[in-house]
A and B are shown apart, each in its own frame.
Chain A
Amino acid sequence: MGTSEERVVAVIMVGGPTKGTRFRPLSLNIPKPLFPLAGQPMVHHPISACKTIPNLAQIYLVGFYEEREFALYVSSISNELRVPVRYLREDKPHGSAGGLYNFRDLIMEDNPSHIVLLNCDVCCSFPLPGMLEAHRRYGGMGTILVIKVSPESANQFGELVADPVTNELLHYTEKPETFVSDRINCGAYIFTPDIFTAIQGVSSQRKDRATLRRLSSFEALQPPNRSPPSDFVRLDQDILSPLAGKKQLYVYETMDFWEQIKTPGMSLKCSALYLAQFRFTSPHLLASSDGRKNATICGDVYIHPSAKVHPTAKIGPNVSISANARIGAGVRLISCIILDDVEIKENAVVIHAIVGWKSSIGRWSRVQAAGDYNAKLGVTILGESVTVEDEVVVINSIILPNKTLNVSVQEEIIL
């Protein structure tokens, strides 16, 4: 029975530094959750989605990064959105469910009726109000956001089978070898506080089994116990799979976009998805070419208010320009992310690329890629403070920070 006193606490898992090497070279300079997509840090998008939930009491960001990496962001976003956002550091890996359990006292401090759990590196419309309403109707312990994908790609994710009428979760399996279902786990959940009891149940079960092993002398001769410590609980294998079919878990399907943001190439694709979403949710954030004073804008483009763009430049579609960037005369930008303090000189062309902070792109130079978001060299990436000299061409390449290119390169990684 919903009351007006019902509070919701949101938890966003942001991950940590040494695990995510797939986001290099961008992650060499910034924690992945703070990398900007459509002009806002990656974690900002799930945070904004949480803000659409009525009675949101608190947002916790949980991860392995040092506190100081998130201190500035957390304080500024708390002020901006007028909701308390706090970063909590996990001291050691507890698994995706164990991490939630680890901070249960803090989470339950506000006595929430519901807990929203989101993954930061998921690009999604996060339809949380609708999902919360559905969760209340179902009356279960948890509701999982799911999306339909192509059968060929489904096995990269957690595959779910649900009852088409009641939406109850009947079966869940993580990255199966054979085809189970084309509905997959989006990495967004709503739980009631019973989830903590369920996680604790898994922990104690493990402890009991471990104790049992020690009593059996036969087991003692076996090679060292490889199962994880008792407080390491994974959401997928340890909670969702076992509880499927027990009338505790339900699904809520989204028809919007969904992607995982694992590589720099994907961040370019997801930036475009969020820019397209802005057209519906926050059109005032997008740039438009009004009158001769401004540059020509095509499609969805974000330009930070402090960036300077010459009126003869043509920008877009799918371009995001960050703070203090300077775009010179006659520049053409298509499908790219231009980070803070970048200078792009006259008549340069940038297509399917990410240009790192403080980099400099010379006159008539060309920085481009084929635009295959999944290929290793499908999006050209320039790290922090890279200089591309005049008239140089950089194609399908990754350039690490502080390099100067005075000759053209193609299909190369430059350390």
Chain B
Amino acid sequence: MKALILVGGFGTRLRPLTLSVPKPLVDFANKPMILHQIEALKAIGVTEVVLAINYQPEVMLNFLKDFEKKLGIKITCSQETEPLGTAGPLALARDKLIDDSGEPFFVLNSDVISEYPLKQMIEFHKSHGGEASIMVTKVDEPSKYGVVVMEESTGQVERFVEKPKLFVGNKINAGIYLLDPSVLDRIELRPTSIEKEVFPNIAAEKKLFAMVLPGFWMDIGQPKDYITGLRLYLDSLKKKSSPKLASGPHIIGNVLVDESAKIGEGCLIGPDVAIGPGCVVESGVRLSRCTVMRGVRIKKHSCISSSIIGWHSTVGQWARVENMTILGEDVHVGDEIYSNGGVVLPHKEIKSSILKPEIVM
């Protein structure tokens, strides 16, 4: 079985992190974002994953070589020379997605994290016999998104409404699709929107069905949602009683600590924290609701909350970092510095406090 992951864009909303690596390789819960999806696909028997990309292909291709071997799944790239929207890339990758088996293929949006109940989705697809299945998820504020209006009992999709002013429903497109090969005949090789052009056509023929996604869902394409997403993800690990979660007297709530990370004495870590490979957390440090990426050193007595600390950065002694501070790669926050929402580009030293949210170039 095959799958396509829409990687697309420049990831500008996740800057400054995406100034160092392309977005799918930004770590989430100690693993490159795209690896979460590739592993879920491998688990249900997908043998080949196509990445639809248009930016920094060399970096992606290097990453793929490593993971192809480790995971035992074939990973290829389909590179757009001009942006093709959300449907065009499928036409571009046509030859890679169709084989003689006639099996449906998955399409995932790379910004999304969720439980990935892909096996259930396959069964749902078989049971309704339509041409396309999409996952939808329930949200509190549907008018920020594209709402999917569907018949409750069968899941048959009636229509899509972009950012509706009046309430028409609370289910939105979760960015996970299972499509029959015949869908590719509906997509031309030009910039095309799957929500505005392709799906409405299939829905009109009553061949598009939606399944409500069980479990959590988050679009982690921007820092605020990334931090919320980590909470949801760690929560779901807890529900499954995952052994990956850390435990101990210095741990509160759900915390992920890579086995190569070191944590000093007298620390209090959690809730909702991920500490990456090779990190050193010195003694007396307080971490809550934050992500600490590979190779970071957090010095003694400092306090970090609701922030993301980029690869190989350091946070000085007694520093206080909070309120959506995002440190890019190789940023060094001096001792005793306070950062309130500083967004710092890579390779900087912060020698004076940032009192209100600002971008430091």
Q: What is A's interface to B at a CB cutoff of 8 Å?
A: 18, 21, 24-25, 28, 398, 400-403, 413, 415
A18 touches B347 (CB 8 A): yes
In the complex the two chains form, what is the Cα distance from A403 to B19 in whole Å? 13
B361 touches A25 (CB 8 A): yes
**Which of A21, A413, A415 is within 8 Å of B12, CB to CB?**
A415
A413 touches B347 (CB 8 A): no
Closest A residue by C-beta to B18: A415
A403 touches B359 (CB 8 A): no
User: Which residues on A sit within 8 Å (CB–CB) of B16?
Assistant: 415
B312 CB → nearest A CB, Å: 12
In the complex the two chains form, what is the Cα distance from A402 to B347 in whole Å? 21
User: Which residues on A sit within 8 Å (CB–CB) of B10?
Assistant: 401-402
The 10 closest A-B pairs by CB, nearest first: A415-B15, A402-B10, A413-B359, A24-B361, A18-B347, A403-B12, A21-B348, A402-B12, A21-B347, A415-B359
B275 within 8 A of A: no
B101 CB → nearest A CB, Å: 39
A21 touches B345 (CB 8 A): yes
Closest B residue by C-beta to A415: B15
User: Which residues on B sit within 8 Å (CB–CB) of A24?
Assistant: 345, 361
Closest A residue by C-beta to B361: A24
A400 touches B347 (CB 8 A): no
A28 touches B19 (CB 8 A): yes
**Which of B19, B347, B348, B361 is within 8 Å of A398, CB to CB?**
B361
B11 CB → nearest A CB, Å: 9
Please report which residues of chain B, range 318-361, place their CB below 8 angstroms from some CB of chain A when the two chains form the complex: 343, 345, 347-348, 359, 361
User: Which residues on A sit within 8 Å (CB–CB) of B347?
Assistant: 18, 21
Residue in A28, A400, A415 with the greatest tally of chain B CB atoms within 10 Å: A415
The 23 listed contacts between A and B (C-beta, < 8 Å) are A18-B347, A21-B345, A21-B347, A21-B348, A21-B361, A24-B345, A24-B361, A25-B361, A28-B19, A398-B361, A400-B12, A400-B15, A401-B10, A402-B10, A402-B12, A403-B12, A413-B359, A413-B361, A415-B12, A415-B15, A415-B16, A415-B343, A415-B359
A353 CB → nearest B CB, Å: 17
In the complex the two chains form, what is the Cα distance from A335 to B233 in whole Å? 51
B9 CB → nearest A CB, Å: 8
Closest A residue by C-beta to B10: A402
B99 CB → nearest A CB, Å: 35
Contact flags (1/0) for B276-292 with A, using CB distance below 8 Å? 00000000000000000
User: Which residues on A sit within 8 Å (CB–CB) of B343?
Assistant: 415
User: Which residues on A sit within 8 Å (CB–CB) of B361?
Assistant: 21, 24-25, 398, 413
User: Which residues on B sit within 8 Å (CB–CB) of A28?
Assistant: 19
Residue in B16, B359, B361 with the greatest tally of chain A CB atoms within 10 Å: B361
B83 CB → nearest A CB, Å: 11
In the complex the two chains form, what is the Cα distance from A364 to B280 in whole Å? 54
A143 CB → nearest B CB, Å: 35
Closest B residue by C-beta to A18: B347
In the complex the two chains form, what is the Cα distance from A24 to B348 in whole Å? 11
Closest A residue by C-beta to B358: A413
B26 CB → nearest A CB, Å: 14
User: Which residues on B sit within 8 Å (CB–CB) of A18?
Assistant: 347
Contact flags (1/0) for B11-34 with A, using CB distance below 8 Å? 010011001000000000000000
B17 CB → nearest A CB, Å: 10
A27 CB → nearest B CB, Å: 10
Closest B residue by C-beta to A21: B348
User: Which residues on B sit within 8 Å (CB–CB) of A415?
Assistant: 12, 15-16, 343, 359
Closest B residue by C-beta to A28: B19
B120 CB → nearest A CB, Å: 37
A377 CB → nearest B CB, Å: 11
Closest B residue by C-beta to A401: B10
In the complex the two chains form, what is the Cα distance from A18 to B345 in whole Å? 11
Not counting A21-B345, A400-B15, a sample of 17 additional A-B residue pairs whose C-beta atoms are within 8 angstroms of each other reads A18-B347, A21-B347, A21-B348, A21-B361, A24-B345, A25-B361, A28-B19, A398-B361, A400-B12, A401-B10, A402-B10, A402-B12, A403-B12, A413-B359, A413-B361, A415-B16, A415-B343
In the complex the two chains form, what is the Cα distance from A25 to B16 in whole Å? 12
In the complex the two chains form, what is the Cα distance from A24 to B15 in whole Å? 14
In the complex the two chains form, what is the Cα distance from A413 to B19 in whole Å? 15
In the complex the two chains form, what is the Cα distance from A401 to B15 in whole Å? 11
B352 CB → nearest A CB, Å: 14
In the complex the two chains form, what is the Cα distance from A72 to B15 in whole Å? 30
Closest B residue by C-beta to A25: B361
In the complex the two chains form, what is the Cα distance from A117 to B361 in whole Å? 30
A218 CB → nearest B CB, Å: 28
In the complex the two chains form, what is the Cα distance from A359 to B19 in whole Å? 19
User: Which residues on B sit within 8 Å (CB–CB) of A402?
Assistant: 10, 12
User: Which residues on A sit within 8 Å (CB–CB) of B12?
Assistant: 400, 402-403, 415
Closest B residue by C-beta to A17: B347
In the complex the two chains form, what is the Cα distance from A398 to B361 in whole Å? 10
In the complex the two chains form, what is the Cα distance from A362 to B347 in whole Å? 34
In the complex the two chains form, what is the Cα distance from A269 to B12 in whole Å? 29
In the complex the two chains form, what is the Cα distance from A413 to B361 in whole Å? 9
In the complex the two chains form, what is the Cα distance from A25 to B345 in whole Å? 10
A318 CB → nearest B CB, Å: 25
B300 CB → nearest A CB, Å: 18
B358 CB → nearest A CB, Å: 8
B343 CB → nearest A CB, Å: 7
A397 CB → nearest B CB, Å: 11
User: Which residues on A sit within 8 Å (CB–CB) of B345?
Assistant: 21, 24
Closest A residue by C-beta to B13: A415
User: Which residues on A sit within 8 Å (CB–CB) of B359?
Assistant: 413, 415
Closest B residue by C-beta to A22: B361
User: Which residues on B sit within 8 Å (CB–CB) of A398?
Assistant: 361
In the complex the two chains form, what is the Cα distance from A28 to B348 in whole Å? 13
In the complex the two chains form, what is the Cα distance from A403 to B343 in whole Å? 18
In the complex the two chains form, what is the Cα distance from A55 to B240 in whole Å? 78
In the complex the two chains form, what is the Cα distance from A21 to B361 in whole Å? 7
Please report which residues of chain B, range 48-64, place their CB below 8 angstroms from some CB of chain A when the two chains form the complex: none
